[in-house]
């Protein structure tokens, strides 16, 4: 049976495809390639790719039945989403249509396919710490109230609600992962972050080092933190990918329980923060980037970026306790070293 990876041509999805392949699991990628990279799937990962829209119900049905793969789809890792916070504010329709509307179509198709075969097709969903908004407490627990402050965060929060309701009503098993700041690159050096436009701190710091950017703007140095810059919890993308294998096992066990006659009324999403539980300020990330690369990061202090909470930090013990997740690369220096190796490979012409 095959694992469907929606958004497998994107940053986190492509690393998850690699983790599945390393575990010997057959994979099918579905991606609309709006932000994803065809070459990463076809050439680097050499995984089968269906180019299409998640909202295309006919396409989804044929994919789930196994008409595009050697075997039917056993479970779904659902990464496909637009993830630019700023864009979501100026074009919320794009975010609700894609992240929410198309995911609703996917969930309906999963329920229908599960009924057809008499056993559920479970899902692991990529959510985000952006669903917490400006948190009432840090470290952030899974039970910390969620108050998103932009359409991107709302769209993810709403899908979480769908998963609650689809679990209770239709017995759809799910795991929800709330990622903190995904960073780094596969240690092999051939997969990594490749956003266009790029908005994230670490790749932009590396761009400033190599001169692709004249300098890195520090968005605010007057926050109520020790050095005045925002604190985030950076988590290695390969560690996120590994968590998905464990999440997959969890939803598959739940699907088997239901197929064996378990009570569908008791189905609810299992929710896990994914972070290291250790925070670094923007200035600390810059210092670490300088130490790892041996080169200076030219910087400029700029105004605060709207919607940036001062501190986001995960309490991630639940994933460790309940799934047995152990991040392999928790050190910021290692995350940066892998990001730097990928950055140099991607831009070989730069100094
Ligand atoms: N940041 C910054 N300059 C940049 C990009 C980001 O100072 O060019 C800061 C941003 O304000 C936040 C942190 O770096 O405090 C991480 O931002 P990123 O966009 O990487 O991730 P986010 O926290 O928004 O998910």
pLDDT tens column, 42-55: 999 999 999 999 99
pLDDT beyond 80 at 86: yes
Question: Residue 53 has what pLDDT?
Answer: 96
pLDDT beyond 80 at 290: yes
Candidate of 201, 207, 274, 289 to mutate for ligand 1, largest count of ligand atoms within 8 Å of Cβ:
201
CATH class of 2-183+236-274: alpha beta
**Burial category of 243 from C-beta neighbours within 10 Å (exposed 0-12, middle 13-18, buried 19 and up):** buried
The verdict on pTM exceeding 0.85 is yes
| 84 is an active site residue | no
146: left (phi over 0), alpha (psi -120 to 50) or beta: beta
Question: What's the rounded mean pLDDT across residues 285-308?
Answer: 96
Q: Is the CB of 131 under 6 A from ligand 1?
A: no
Question: Residue 235 has what pLDDT?
Answer: 98
> Where do we find the tokens 């730097």?
340
Question: Residue 14 has what pLDDT?
Answer: 98
Catalytic annotation, pick one of 11, 35, 152, 223: 152
Tell me the pLDDT tens digit for each residue of 178-195: 999 999 999 999 999 999
Question: Residue 265 has what pLDDT?
Answer: 83
Question: Residue 264 has what pLDDT?
Answer: 84
Beta-carbon contacts of residue 349 (< 8 Å; ≥ 6 apart): none
Beta-carbon contacts of residue 169 (< 8 Å; ≥ 6 apart): none
CA distance 331 to 94: 36
CA distance 301 to 244: 37
**Burial category of 130 from C-beta neighbours within 10 Å (exposed 0-12, middle 13-18, buried 19 and up):** buried
Contact 302, 218 (CB under 8 A): yes
Band the pLDDT of 266: cuts 50, 70, 90.
confident
> Where do we find the tokens 């990928």?
342
Q: Is the CB of 305 under 6 A from ligand 1?
A: yes
Topology, domain 201-233+276-346 = UDP-galactose 4-epimerase; domain 1 (3.90.25)
Q: Domains of the chain: which residue ranges? A: 2-183+236-274, 201-233+276-346
Tell me the pLDDT tens digit for each residue of 269-289: 999 999 999 999 999 999 999
Candidate of 202, 282, 332 to mutate for ligand 1, largest count of ligand atoms within 8 Å of Cβ:
282
CA distance 221 to 107: 43
Instruction: Report the nearest atom of ligand 1 relative to the CA of 312.
Output: 23
């Amino acid at each position: 049976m095959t694992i469907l990876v929606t958004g497998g041509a994107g940053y986190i999805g492509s690393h998850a495809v690699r983790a599945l392949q390393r575990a010997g699991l057959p994979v099918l990628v579905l991606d609309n390639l709006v932000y994803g990279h065809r070459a990463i799937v076809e050439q680097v990962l050499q995984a089968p790719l269906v180019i299409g829209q998640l909202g295309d119900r006919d396409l989804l049905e044929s994919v789930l039945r196994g008409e595009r793969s050697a075997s039917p789809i056993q479970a779904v890792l659902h990464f496909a989403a637009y993830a630019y916070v700023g864009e979501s504010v100026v074009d919320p329709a794009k975010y609700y249509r894609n992240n929410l509307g198309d995911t609703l179509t996917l969930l309906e198709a999963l329920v229908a396919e599960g009924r057809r075969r008499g056993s559920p097709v479970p899902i692991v969903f990529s959510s985000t710490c952006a669903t917490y908004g400006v948190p009432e407490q840090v470290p952030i627990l899974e039970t910390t109230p969620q108050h998103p402050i932009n359409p991107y965060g709302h769209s993810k929060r709403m899908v979480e609600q769908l998963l609650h309701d689809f679990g209770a009503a239709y017995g759809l098993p799910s795991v929800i992962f709330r990622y903190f700041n995904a960073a780094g690159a596969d240690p092999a050096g051939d997969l990594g972050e490749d956003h266009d436009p790029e908005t994230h701190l670490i790749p932009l710091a590396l761009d400033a080092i190599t001169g692709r950017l004249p300098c890195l703007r520090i968005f605010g140095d007057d926050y109520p933190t020790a050095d005045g810059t925002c604190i985030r919890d950076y988590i290695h993308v390969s560690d996120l990918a590994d968590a998905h294998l464990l999440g997959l096992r969890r939803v598959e066990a739940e699907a088997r329980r239901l197929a064996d006659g378990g009570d569908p009324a008791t189905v609810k999403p299992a929710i896990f923060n994914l972070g290291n539980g250790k925070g670094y300020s923007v200035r600390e990330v810059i210092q670490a980037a300088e130490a790892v690369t041996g080169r200076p990061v030219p910087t400029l202090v700029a105004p605060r970026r709207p919607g940036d909470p001062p501190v986001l930090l995960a309490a991630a013990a639940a994933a460790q306790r309940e799934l047995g997740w152990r991040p392999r690369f928790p050190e910021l220096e290692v995350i940066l070293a892998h990001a730097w190796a990928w950055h140099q490979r991607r831009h070989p012409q730069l100094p």
